[in-house]
Each structure stands twice: as C-alpha cells, then as structure tokens.
Amino acid sequence: MSRWLQFQLPFPPSNNRYYRNVNGRMIISREGREYAQRVAGIIRTVTDDPFLDGIVVNIKAHMPDKRRRDVDNMLKVPLDAMQKAGLYGDDSQIVRLGIEKIHSTQPGRLEVLIESID
C-alpha cells in the first residue's frame, strides 16, 4: 500500500543566502540553519516514520512577492532540510520531482506532497 504525507513549509531562503564561504569552506548560513530547524519542527509534528524506499515529491510554491525566481533553484534548500529532518534518508530516493509556481500569495509557503512508491 502506498503511503503519503501532505504538509506546508515556510518559503525557503534563496541558494545565495543559504550558503556562505568562510575561510575557503562552504557552510550553511545562519539563515539556512534556522530554516532547517523550522522544517525539522514541522516534520516532527507530521510524522516520526521516515520514508525508506522510493518517493515522489510534489511541491506547490506560493511566491511571497512578484520577484522573478527560477523554480529549479527553489528545490535544493527545502529538499535538503527535509532530508536533514529525517523525512527520508537520501535525495537518491526521489524518483519523481514536481514543482508548480503560484504567484504572489502572502506569506510565501510551500505545499508539499510526498508519496511512497510501491
């Protein structure tokens, strides 16, 4: 039987604000760490049972404003945060990934639907 979860996440920081170069090393910024902590808190309220096999991830990205954004650049931060929160073990489990951009709804957010693959 297929398993699924649906939940909302805050709109992620951009990739440019997620990473910082410190003494030649790339690290996750304070803003990135805070985002990951918020995501982990949300994941804990939704489930404590990680997905172990293949998954399909669909995201509806509600834009916080009218700035131009590339949808492919919006994926890295929330996917990494969900993995770090223990929702799934590794990005390689994702067999299908979809994203839809929905313009200008305040506040920005991500609606996430994750389904297991039998």
Task: Provide block-wise average pLDDT over 10 residues at a time, the chain (118 residues).
Answer: 91 85 88 96 96 96 90 92 96 96 87 94
pLDDT at 109: 96
**pLDDT of 104:** 72
pLDDT given at position 2: 83
Q: Which tokens belong to 72? A: 């492919």
| CATH homologous superfamily for the domain 4-116 | Holliday junction resolvase RusA (3.30.1330.70)
Q: Is the pTM of this model over 0.85?
A: yes
Q: Give the model's pLDDT for residue 83.
A: 96
Query: What is the pLDDT at residue 15?
Result: 80
Residue 69's pLDDT is 87
Report the pLDDT value the prediction gives residue 1, as an integer from 0 to 100: 57
End-to-end Cα distance, the chain: 7
